[in-house]
Amino acid sequence: MTGYIIRRLLWGVLLLFLVIAVTFLIFYLLPSVNPAILRAGRNGSPKVIAEISKDLGLNHPIYVQFWNYIKEIIFHGNFGYSYYYNDPVGGLIANRLPATLSLTVGAAALWVLIGIPVGIISAIKRRTFFDRAAMGAALVFVSAPVFWLGLIALYLFANDIGQFKIFPGSGSYVGLTVNPLKWFESLLLPWMVLSATSTAIYARLVRGSLLQVMGEDYIRTARAKGLPERTVILKHGMRSAMGPLVTVLGLDIASLLGGAILTEGVFDIPGIGRLNIDAIGHGDVTIVQGTVLVASIFIIIANIIVDIAYAFLDPRVRYE
């Protein structure tokens, strides 16, 4: 297992290198704002732009620029400097990470705590009213775009613009360390909106997996042995059904940690997603590269964790 993990980590490093290279090339090859123009301002003279290009090393060949970028990341932990904010990218990302982390962890907890039980009950009580209602609602939430759902949620339930003034609205986010209670309150609505689609997906996924597993021979054997139905479902049924769920959960959480762009935008939560979308709007290449890199790191780590978790969930899986 240790050898496997080391091999995966090394592959992860190689993958990160490729991600950096591709991101770098995308901004180099496709039409984007010249960083020197961005820093010089919209009306910088050609002379000023040329001087800034020289200062930023933009007059070097692409492979030199790429090597300088990689070198800074590896040896100095420096993700570059934002051309728009005039601030180190690493600091900007670190500043935004807590908000994204808060949003993601809370939403993931919600969709796991709601989605899995609903899926289990739907599977057990197949074709009952509960099953049909739950799966019908799931279909609605799967189909609803998160930005639309967010706006509707605000219009209905925000305490400033809502018809039913229940939850703090857009722009109410405060940091956990500033005021834990307000932090919790401000994230309730975003958590619900962000988790709605995933809750629906997880409920359907669990239902489908469990229905499939519950028809297996070993389940019949477990029942024949006289095990209580609760044990059959939770210990034998769910353990097998958890495999695909863990895969999806790991990747979902990891990709959200790279920024829940739409939810952060609608609820005005200053997280990585909003930093990224603002940077794209400004053509601030270094921030986009930095956020993509962070998202990639999360996804690679999540993949490794998922693979390890498989070994514990399914005894048949052994890594050499």
Q: For residues 55 and 216, which CB has a smaller minimum distance to other proteins in the complex?
A: 55
Residue 4 beta carbon to other proteins: minimum distance, rounded to whole angstroms: 41
- DSSP string over 203-258: HHHHHHHHHHHTTSHHHHHHHHTT--HHHIIIIIIHHHHHHHHHHHHHHHHHHHHT
Residue 132 beta carbon to other proteins: minimum distance, rounded to whole angstroms: 28
Residue 87 beta carbon to other proteins: minimum distance, rounded to whole angstroms: 6
What is the rounded CA–CA span in Å between residue 226 and residue 238? 18
Q: For residues 96 and 236, which CB has a smaller minimum distance to other proteins in the complex?
A: 96
Ordered alpha helix ranges (H), the chain: 2-29, 35-40, 46-56, 62-76, 89-124, 129-143, 146-157, 180-213, 217-224, 229-231, 238-257, 261-266, 272-282, 285-313
Residue 203 beta carbon to other proteins: minimum distance, rounded to whole angstroms: 25
Residue 66 beta carbon to other proteins: minimum distance, rounded to whole angstroms: 22
Tell me if 86 sits within 8 A of 78, measured CB to CB.
Answer: no
Residue 176 beta carbon to other proteins: minimum distance, rounded to whole angstroms: 15
Q: For residues 45 and 68, which CB has a smaller minimum distance to other proteins in the complex?
A: 45
Q: What is the binding site for other proteins (CB under 8 A)?
A: 31-34, 37, 39-49, 51-52, 55, 84-87, 92, 95-96, 145, 147-148, 151-152, 154-155, 160-161, 169-171, 261-262, 265-266, 268, 270, 274-275, 277-278, 280-283
Q: For residues 57 and 228, which CB has a smaller minimum distance to other proteins in the complex?
A: 57
Q: Which of these, 44, 78, 139, 106, lies nearest to 293 by C-alpha position?
A: 78
Q: Which of these, 310, 298, 301, lies nearest to 9 by C-alpha position?
A: 301
Give the chain's radius of gyration (CA, Å).
Answer: 24
Q: For residues 175 and 208, which CB has a smaller minimum distance to other proteins in the complex?
A: 175
Tell me if 102 sits within 8 A of 176, measured CB to CB.
Answer: yes
- Sequence-separated (6 or more) residues with CB below 8 Å from residue 33: 282, 283
Q: For residues 144 and 246, which CB has a smaller minimum distance to other proteins in the complex?
A: 144
Q: For residues 57 and 117, which CB has a smaller minimum distance to other proteins in the complex?
A: 57
Residue 143 beta carbon to other proteins: minimum distance, rounded to whole angstroms: 14
Which tokens go with 73?
A: 């990341």
Q: For residues 110 and 266, which CB has a smaller minimum distance to other proteins in the complex?
A: 266
Which tokens go with 98?
A: 């807590």
Residue 207 beta carbon to other proteins: minimum distance, rounded to whole angstroms: 30
